[in-house]
């Protein structure tokens, strides 16, 4: 793998690259075989967020419409606000097996958090009798993460009406955090930051999709340019140098 990408400049790229390499041997920090225990009664938080996007005509997604733009932005993790979280990953690693390192940012603090893609969805599904075209993926938390759980990001088009939406669905619970200061901070601010991340991701997706549609309509850009992916070895233009200076 050679195509190392960061969604924005990282605080300590050398440390982040080493941490990403360590994820190859990392295990999940929760038991997927006990999904039946993932309930509110057992202390898990279950979240579902929806962002309406510009609609399309009924039927299959348009090649240059809002659903296709949303799917490409999901693929690049471009919807994440870099003021809150930045990602490092190998773009040439197959998405369904990809490790991702997040640099989470909170009031000057930086936390490196490991994740692994747990699945990719691509197809048409009936929901309450309505057909919807869906594309997206999820990631799951690895040992050392502050949380346990999974987040799903999905581009959805309702084929009967043409409505397009960006969905975020998650289940999460605080992990065992050995540092007492970090544990207290997460207990106080963790839920606030979860919601802030999701709400800013929804707004950012709406803005990015609208900007892409305007660019395509006016001939100023192509929806193949999905925004915020950065190459590890170049600087300037749409690329950011991650040099040798972590929801």
Q: What is the pLDDT of residue 244?
A: 30
Q: Is the domain defined by 4-228 classed in CATH 3.30.530.20?
A: yes
Distance (Å, rounded) from C-alpha 29 to C-alpha 141? 6
Tokens of 85: 């979280």
Measured N-to-C along each axis, helices 66-75 and 180-217 cross at an angle, to the nearest 10 degrees, of 140
Q: What is the pLDDT along the chain (247 residues), one digit of tens a residue?
A: 889 999 999 999 999 999 999 999 999 999 999 999 999 999 999 999 999 999 999 999 999 999 999 999 999 999 999 999 999 999 999 999 999 999 999 878 899 999 999 999 999 999 999 999 999 999 999 999 999 999 999 999 999 999 999 999 999 998 888 878 777 777 767 788 899 999 999 999 999 999 999 999 998 765 444 333 333 332 222 222 233 323 3
Distance (Å, rounded) from C-alpha 164 to C-alpha 88? 28
Q: What is the pLDDT of residue 239?
A: 27
Q: What is the pLDDT of residue 222?
A: 53
Q: Answer yes or no: are the C-beta atoms of 101 and 16 closer than 8 Å.
A: yes
Q: What is the chain's alpha carbon radius of gyration, rounded to the nearest angstrom?
A: 18
Query: Residue 187: how many CB atoms within 10 A of its CB?
Result: 11
Distance (Å, rounded) from C-alpha 161 to C-alpha 96? 30
Domain ranges of the chain: 4-228
Strand partners, 236: 239
Q: Answer yes or no: are the C-beta atoms of 32 and 142 closer than 8 Å.
A: no
Tokens of 32: 């997927």
């Amino acid at each position: 793998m050679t195509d190392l990408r960061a969604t924005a400049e990282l605080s300590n790229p050398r440390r982040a690259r080493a941490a990403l390499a360590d994820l190859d041997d990392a295990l999940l920090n929760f038991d997927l075989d006990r999904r039946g225990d993932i309930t509110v009664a057992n202390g898990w938080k279950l979240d579902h967020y929806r962002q309406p996007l510009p609609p399309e005509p009924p039927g299959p997604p348009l090649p240059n419409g809002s659903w296709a733009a949303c799917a490409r932005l999901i693929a690049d993790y471009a919807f994440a606000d870099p003021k809150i979280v930045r990602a490092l990953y190998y773009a040439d690693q197959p998405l369904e097996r990809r490790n991702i390192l997040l640099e989470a940012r909170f009031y000057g603090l930086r936390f490196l958090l490991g994740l692994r893609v747990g699945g990719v969805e691509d197809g048409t599904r009936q929901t309450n009798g309505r057909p919807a075209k869906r594309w997206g993926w999820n990631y799951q938390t690895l040992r050392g993460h502050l949380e346990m759980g999974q987040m799903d990001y999905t581009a959805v088009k309702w084929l009967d009406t043409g409505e397009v939406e960006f969905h975020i669905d998650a289940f999460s619970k605080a992990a065992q955090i050995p540092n007492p200061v970090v544990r207290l901070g997460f207990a106080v601010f963790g839920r606030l930051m979860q919601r802030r991340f999701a709400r800013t991701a929804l707004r950012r997706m709406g803005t990015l999709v609208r900007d892409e549609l305007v660019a395509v309509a006016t001939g100023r850009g192509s929806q193949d340019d999905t925004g915020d992916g950065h190459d590890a070895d170049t600087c300037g233009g749409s690329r950011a140098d991650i040099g040798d200076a972590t929801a």
